[in-house]
Amino acid sequence: MAATENPPPPPRTLNVQKCADARRPEIESLHSLVSNRLSSHFRLPRSLRRRTTSHVRRPKSRRSGEGADDQDKGEGDEKNEKKLCRRERRRRELTGNPELGFVVAADGTRRLRTHVWHAKRFRMVKRWGFYLPLGVQGRGRGSRAVLKLLQNGALVHDASYYLPIQLEGPQDCILSVLRMVLIPSPPVVAQMSSESLSHKVLQGACHQNAMLYNMDSSASHFVAPVLYMWQRMTSERVEWEISSVRKLWIWIHAAAFHEGCNALRIACEKQQKSVDGITVSCIQQEGRITRLDIMGNKASEVMSKILCPVTISNKTIDGHEVPEAQQQFNMDQIQKLPPGAILQLRVKDPRLLSSEVNSEFDEVAIDLVSSDACKPFDNMELWDSHCKLDPPVPENILCREKNRKRLNSLFLEPMGQEVPGGRQQDVFSQSCPVVLLKHGHQTTFLGWSIILPLSWVKTFWLSLVSRGGHAIGLRERRWVAWKNHVPCFPHDFPDTEGYRSLLTDEGTLLDASAQLRPHMAQPQKTPMPPPWDCVVAYLHHICRNAVKCEFLTLDMYVPRTNMTLKEHVERMDSKAMISAGDVEVMDGGGEKETLCVVRVLVRPFKEGLFEDGSLVCAPCADDLSGWNSRSEKEVEKYQEKWQLQLKQSSVESYFMQLESGKWALQVPEDPADLKTFRWPIGFITTGAVHACNDRVSVGFCDIRILAALRRQQYLQTEIKRPEIFVLVRNMKSAAYRRAIATIVLEQQQEDLLFL
């Protein structure tokens, strides 16, 4: 029985004194041997001595007396506690994780919670009040690798610069506020069917995209595209309660956040005046909750690796009851969710996940297409603006706990003091409430968004990157939007103030960098943003044969639904339409002009690659001859017309900058130059990405001129096609390239998706 017993474990502590006493004879013999060899001279020669305090920066005080030394030491400790070096203060500020708010620089610019991670790998730029990652270091290449990862992997982007605004009040009052500022506006509750998308959005099962307008002025102007979502209705509320208190989130880009917030506040004030005693609160949630975007075909796989919902084995976690729906939820089923779905969960800290944790899932099939399956958890603490959101456990505490477990496995006692576990339990949390949004429509999948507390961003970001996610910046995000033929804000929204301010800042930076070069090496100066006035000048030239048009302001309108486009076309008089035989344009002289442009996809006919800011020009009747020629004889016959080019002097003088800073179109007076001159009808806002087979570009053109060109091409070619033949010229190039323009709203009912 004694032989089968396990040997005793090794001692937890080792007494050095007893060990030395047991080895006293060996130590004494070794000492005598060394002393004989050194002739009892144990001191090191002076030439071989090294100062043991050479690493200390501050020299030792020369004051005599022990009291003076103690006094200097005390004063030094107080000074070190009062004032730390800038490097240490900056490190603590950037690596800290406060519960609310962004880290703010001295000039007021905010930093993301992932700023340190991005600053080591990306080029950082200051935009919209944030330090944001523009792209990987280099010359802006790498589009082929990013788009390949979009098809075969997952891309992650820190979208913390999208800021939420919460509306809280009675449901009917919030709906009236939304009808003032959103297009398309939500319908009346009585007109909603139980299977309609509007009903699901109001119920909180889906989110919706819309366009935010400011109705303060006499004429409304477009602010920005937004995403809004309602708080999930409780299961106890069966019937619609019009006067019930609801909450709504509206996510706005940082470039238009202040303007959008003012528009919502003005709408809330108007609603309060119309209904006495009932108010709708407009609360800014900036610095409290944020979102991370995950794109790519394998986005769901990456999310399933880091999102571990609370299961049956954890009925309660951090004091929160777990609903029965979440206890039976499996993350592998999120791919079955329809586009636009909202899923609310409480998940565990991704740093604590392991194979043992993942084995706690119960394989229970749930019909995720139904609306009831999208509410495993209510996440009331996220929607309550006054509720405290517990931050995650700090990294040093997790490392200390991991080290303690490792020492216990080796039967060793941990050194140092530990933080009491009860204190950690009160301040920090091991689970996080999240809201998942699925973007896209039936034919296009744009990825997921994870809405979570701001203090949890760094934790989830590091887990996403380490489990297969490839981080991207603003430049790569724009490539993703271009690949999916989706507009990217603010680059593809020329009717917003964010677009004009962004291009103005970029033009200022280009001018400043050009001034640093010699005069002969300075590049050609181009207008930024593009002068959209020249499109109106084309209409004035046709109707009155006038080159100059006198107007003070230009209002640009972009319809983004088929209904708004149809209403605008119906308001246009038949005399304002340009026809091939009888050209008549409504007199547009005055102090104000309205330009209606639509988003088009421009593809090169045979050759060419269009850049940002390229001009879309209207071809003449002679340019259409032989456009579809295929025989060699016809190709040789019309080759000169296909190679239409301007003189280099005409390229440099195409636009001229006035003293006021605006750019004006210069029409050549020479008849020879006038033959190669083509009037602009629009501009390219997003050019084709290099190193890609798809050479499509995104542009905006005047709807009246496009209708006239289509009618003219119908009469000349006798072939009715939805495409429109146009000419495109890069701003610094002299060659016109043939292209085919397709109106987006003719291919789909609405153009509300954006990135």
Domain final residue pick, 256, 271, 287: 287
Tell me how far apart the alpha carbons of residues 32 and 245 are, in angstroms, rounded to a whole number.
91
* Number of domains present in the structure of the chain: 3
Coil, strand or helix: which one is 754? Answer: coil
User: Helix, strand, or coil here: 291?
Assistant: strand
What's the pLDDT tens digit per position in 111-151? 999 999 999 999 999 999 999 999 998 888 888 999 999 99
688 and 581 in a single domain? The answer is: yes
Asked if 710 and 627 sit in the same domain, the reply is yes
**What is the reported pLDDT for 18?**
84
710 in a structural domain: yes
Report, as an integer, the average pLDDT of 629-646.
Answer: 64
192 with 140, same domain? Answer: no
Burial of 640 (0-12, 13-18, 19+ CB in 10 A): exposed
Render pLDDT for 219-252 as a digit per residue (tens, 0 to 9). Answer: 678 999 999 999 988 654 434 556 678 899 999 9
Cα radius of gyration rounded to whole Å, the chain: 34
State the pLDDT confidence band at 218, using cuts at 50, 70 and 90.
Answer: low
Contact 665, 579 (CB under 8 A): no
- Same-domain status, 120 and 172: no
Q: Which of 252, 287, 322 is the last residue of a domain?
A: 287
Which stretch, 29-38, 56-65, 456-465, 728-737, has highest mean pLDDT?
A: 456-465
Q: Which pLDDT does position 629 carry in this prediction?
A: 55
The last residue of a domain, from among 145, 171, 191: 145
Interatomic CA distance for residues 633 and 682, integer angstroms: 33
Question: What is the CB neighbour count within 10 angstroms for residue 669?
Answer: 8
Per-residue exposure over 204-241, b if at least 16 CB sit within 10 Å of its own CB, e if not: bbbbbbbbbbbeeeeeebbbbbbbbbbbbbeeeeeeee
Confidence check: pLDDT of 587 > 70: no
Closest C-alpha to 585, from 707, 746, 720: 707
Distance between CA atoms of residues 343 and 434, nearest Å:
8
Those residues whose C-beta lies under 8 Å from the C-beta of residue 424, and which sit 6 or more positions away, are 393, 397
Say if 72 falls within a structural domain: no
CB contact set of 33 (below 8 Å; sequence gap of 6+): none
Q: What is the pLDDT of residues 67-106, one digit of tens each?
A: 445 555 555 555 556 678 888 888 888 888 888 889 898 8
Hey, is 485 helix, strand or coil? coil
- What percentage of the chain reaches a pLDDT higher than 90? 28
Q: What are phi and psi of 365, to 5 degrees?
A: -75, 135
Residue 434 has pLDDT above 60, yes or no: yes
Element (H, E) at 137: none
pLDDT band (50, 70, 90) for residue 373: very low
Q: What is the pLDDT of residues 511-523, one digit of tens each?
A: 888 888 898 888 8
Question: For residue 8, is pLDDT > 70?
Answer: yes
CA gap 65, 470 in Å, rounded: 62
Helices (H) then strands (E): counts for the chain = 25, 27
Residues 137 and 169 in one domain: no
174 and 199 fall within a common domain: yes
| 118 and 230 share one domain | no
Q: What is the average pLDDT score of the chain?
A: 80
Q: What residues have CB less than 8 Å from 661, skipping those under 6 apart?
A: none
Instruction: Determine contact, residues 345/375, Cβ cutoff 8 Å.
Output: no
Q: Per the domain annotation, does 240 fall within a domain?
A: yes
Cα gap 553→588, rounded to integer Å: 12
Full residue range of the structural domain in which residue 123 is found: 86-145
Residue 360 has pLDDT above 50, yes or no: no
Q: Is residue 590 over pLDDT 70?
A: no
Q: For residue 328, name the pLDDT band (cuts at 50, 70, 90).
A: very low
Secondary structure E strands in 486-611:
553-557, 592-604
Tell me the residue type at 22: A
- Whether 109 and 197 map to the same domain: the answer is no
Among 384, 455, 561, CA closest to 113 = 455
In a domain, 133, yes or no: yes
Q: pLDDT digit string (tens) for 378-422? A: 678 888 888 888 899 888 888 888 888 888 888 777 766 555 444
Q: What distances in angstroms separate CA 393 from CA 423, 431, 695, one per listed residue?
A: 11, 10, 48
Q: Is residue 679 part of a domain?
A: yes
pLDDT at 43: 78
The answer on 208 and 105 residing in a single domain is no
pTM above 0.85, yes or no: no
As a three-state string, the secondary structure of 580-618 is CCCCCCCCCCCCEEEEEEEEEEEEECCCCCCCCCCEEEC
Structure letter (DSSP) for residue 735: B
Q: What is the 3-state secondary structure (H, E, C) of 659-716?
A: CCCCEEECCCCCHHHHHCCCCEEEEEEECCCCCCCCCCEEEEEEHHHHHHHHHHHHHH
Same domain, 115 and 221: no
According to DSSP, the β-strands at 154-158 and 469-471 are: parallel
What tens digit of pLDDT does each residue of 256-304 get?
A: 999 999 999 999 988 888 877 788 889 999 989 999 999 999 998 899 8
Answer yes or no: is 689 within a domain.
Answer: yes
CATH number for the domain spanning 238: value is: 3.30.70.1400
pLDDT in tens, 662-686: 888 888 888 888 888 888 999 999 9
Could you tell me if 139 and 175 lie in one domain? Answer: no
Give the strands of the sheet with 208-214, arranged side by side.
Answer: 182-183, 208-214, 221-230, 245-253, 162-170, 281-284
Is there a domain that residue 596 lies in? yes
SS3 category, 503: helix
What's the pLDDT at 435? 93
601, 640: one domain? yes
Residue 59 lies in a domain: no
> What tokens were used for 683?
């501009």
Question: In this model, does residue 641 exceed pLDDT 80?
Answer: no
pLDDT tens for each residue of 147-185: 999 999 999 999 999 999 999 998 889 999 999 999 888
At 102, the amino acid letter reads: F
- Tell me how far apart the alpha carbons of residues 200 and 232 are, in angstroms, rounded to a whole number: 10
CB 704 within 8 A of CB 577: yes
